[in-house]
Structures are given as C-alpha cells and as structure tokens.
Amino acid sequence: MISRLVARITLASMPLLLGACASMSSFNGYVSASSEDAKKVEHGGYSDAATAQIAVVQNPDFNGGRISPRALKKIQEYSISCQRQIDVQLAGAGQSGVNGAVPYGVAGLGVGPAAKAAFAGASMHAYALYGGIAYLLPGAVNGLITGSYAMASAKGTCTRDFWEDVVHTDPDFRGTHVVVVYAGKAFGNSMPPALKK
C-alpha cells in the first residue's frame, strides 16, 4: 500500500522536476547555462539559460533606446559566472524539495491526534500516517519553489551587481539595466525587444 503511494507521488512529481529545467517555469532559479550556451554567448548570440534569472531593459533616453549587443554579451557573461559561482553554494532542487517535505510531513502527523479528538473510534496512528504522507508532496513543491526563488534572487542580484560595477565604463552600456526575475520568463523567445539587431 505505502509503496504504491510512494510510486504515485514520484510519478506525480516528475512534471515538477522536469519543469525545473525550463527557464520559463516557476523553477528558473535552478537553471544554469551549459557550455554550449556559453559558446553561443561568446559568439554574440542570445541564450535563454544565460538570462534565466534576469531581464535586460534599456532607458529610452540613452543610446537611442537600444541595447548594445556588446552590453548584452557582457551581461550574459556575468550571469553565467554568477550561476556557476552560486550553484555550488546554495541548496539545489533535491535539497530544497527535502527541506520542504520534511517539516510538512512532520506537520501532517498532527492529523492523527486531531482525528482522534474529533471522531470517536478513529485510529490516531492511521490518520497520523495518512497526514504525514499526504503533506509530503505539497511540502516538497513548496520547498522547490522557495529554493528556486532564493536561487533566482541570488543569481539575478549577482548579475545586476556585477553589471553595476562596469555600466559606467563604456558609452555603449549607458542606460542598460538588469532586472531580477524571480520566477518564470515568457514562453518562447525572451530576447529583450530593445536589442539592436
């Protein structure tokens, strides 16, 4: 009985785990650019993964309201550097899921005493087991979302801070700003519309 329940929970959570790979999901904090993404950026291309935790905007009063390709390249390079530095320091998806599942599961054990107090003849042990298991998946999802938010915040803020170190060193960079994206980018191409073609 319990093994079937665990199997069902695992199957139900697979879309969440797969969603953690997409920069447009609620789990974009866990996204990091691959070596292929880094090569694309190095050659002047745009990478959704390199910008998973940020949006790039341009003040219309500077540089004709257009983002310089040099500025976007530099921002993406900083973002990749931040992703690599922060990934090893913060909890990943697995640890974040467990961090949420454990306290929720423990809280779910409270269903047992509550059922015993409310219903004559209710089995405190059976309801506690039910409550503990039932709370595991919502707790894991909450942990994943909270962990992703923390990752996106750290990676996006790091990128913005690195950019602020150099934004005034080059006229091409004037008026270009980095905004932190905590959860989910636009589906499809999320390239900044103000980018110079």
Residue range 121-170, pLDDT digits in tens: 999 999 999 999 999 999 999 999 999 999 999 999 999 999 999 999 99
Reported in sequence order, the residue ranges of the chain that DSSP labels E, i.e. its strands, are 54-58, 176-180
Q: Rounded to 5 degrees, what are φ and ψ at 57?
A: -130, 160
The pTM of the whole model exceeds 0.85: no
Which segments of the chain have a pLDDT < 50? 11, 14-16, 18-21
State how far the Cα of 164 lies from the Cα of 167, in Å rounded to an integer.
Answer: 5
